[in-house]
Amino acid sequence: MSTVETSWRIVHTLQEFGEAGVTELANELNIPKTTVYTHLATLREQGYVLKRESGYALGLQLLLLGEGIRNKNLLYNAGRAEVENLARKSGEYVHLTTVEDGELIYLHNARGENAVGEKHFRQKFEDPGHFHTMASGKAILAFLPEEQITEIINKSSLPHETERTITDEKELRETLATIRERGFALNDQEEIMGTCAVGAPIFNGDSVIGAVSMTKPTSRMSDENIYKTVPETVMRTANAIEANVQFLKKER
């Protein structure tokens, strides 16, 4: 297990640095250079790491691995077309998010013709962000088992993103209760000032497996939109994805 752990520590460090040499990796990870070199050699043999003139970098074989995993994912297959359809109709950014091992994972984004924040949302595939700052994150968090909610809150420590971010656990839990009552979650400039989002949970039976959300600039989000029109649209999409999940399960 320690050998596998070391390899993945090297992979994650290369992801963070972009490119690094043996000495740099050894110093960062506090392990011998000979150990780093041995692991890099194995990763190169598998095509996961490339040797360049100035150091080592991750190879695109990891992209193929990730795409293969996503293409077999039930929620991705059930939700991709629905997300793209909503983005096309609304003109905004629409997101499909799931949770795995207590971590948010972005499965798919679709960009409508009037959407804003393209670079930011592309980066979400590498760093999804925090449950408590996002509409999709809160939509999922509200319906997780209580022990998992507590674990996620304790792990994140509810960091501050904007002046509107919920950083108090009591307030967050009250917000989660409201989400459970009305069936949708809001991100009212809690992650980025000037943008709002509405998210709705997606269920497989009684278990929440993800969320769909729509992001809009505040200039296009009136009270009617944020509390009624957009939530109704997003919840309809979530319901359609839930139906697709059941159809796909029968086909498998």
Mind spelling out the 3-state secondary structure of 68-119?
A: HHHHCCHHHHHHHHHHHHHHHHHCCEEEEEEEECCEEEEEEEEECCCCCCHH
Other CB atoms within 10 Å distance of the CB of residue 174: 12
Given a cut of 70, whether residue 160 has pLDDT beyond it is: yes
Widest pairwise Cα distance in the chain? 62
**Residue 84: predicted pLDDT:** 98
Given this model, what pLDDT does residue 251 score? 86
* CA neighbours closer than 13 Å in the CB half-sphere of residue 36: 21
CB 200 within 8 A of CB 139: yes
Reading the block at residue 172, the tokens are 């967050």
Which CATH number do you get for residue 25? 1.10.10.10
What CA–CA distance (Å, rounded) separates 198 from 65? Answer: 31
Give the structural domain span for 206.
73-251
Q: Is the pLDDT score of 1 beyond 80?
A: no
Query: Do 45 and 146 have their domain in common?
Result: no
Residue that is last in its domain, among 64, 86, 105? 64
Beta bridge partners of 201: 211
pTM: 0.90
Looking at the structure, tell me whether residues 77 and 20 fall in a common domain: no
Asked if 83 and 178 sit in the same domain, the reply is: yes
| 82 and 14 part of one domain | no
Measured between its terminal Cα atoms, the distance across the chain in Å is 33
**Number of domains present in the structure of the chain:** 2
Q: Is 104 exposed, middle or buried (0-12, 13-18, 19+ CB in 10 A)?
A: buried
Residues 237 and 147 reside in one and the same domain:
yes
**Mean pLDDT computed over every residue of the chain:** 94
- Residues 77, 58 within the same domain: no
Same domain? 14 vs 102: no
Q: For residue range 24-61, list pLDDT tens digits in order.
A: 999 999 999 999 999 999 999 999 999 998 899 999 99
Contacts of 17 (CB under 8 A, 6+ apart): 24, 28
Q: Are residues 103 and 6 in the same domain?
A: no
pLDDT band, residue 136 (cuts 50/70/90)? very high
User: What is the mean pLDDT of the segment spanning 141-146?
Assistant: 98
Q: Are residues 93 and 44 in the same domain?
A: no
What does DSSP say about strands 55-58 and 49-52: parallel, antiparallel, or unpaired? Answer: antiparallel
Q: Which residue has the tokens 């290369």?
A: 14
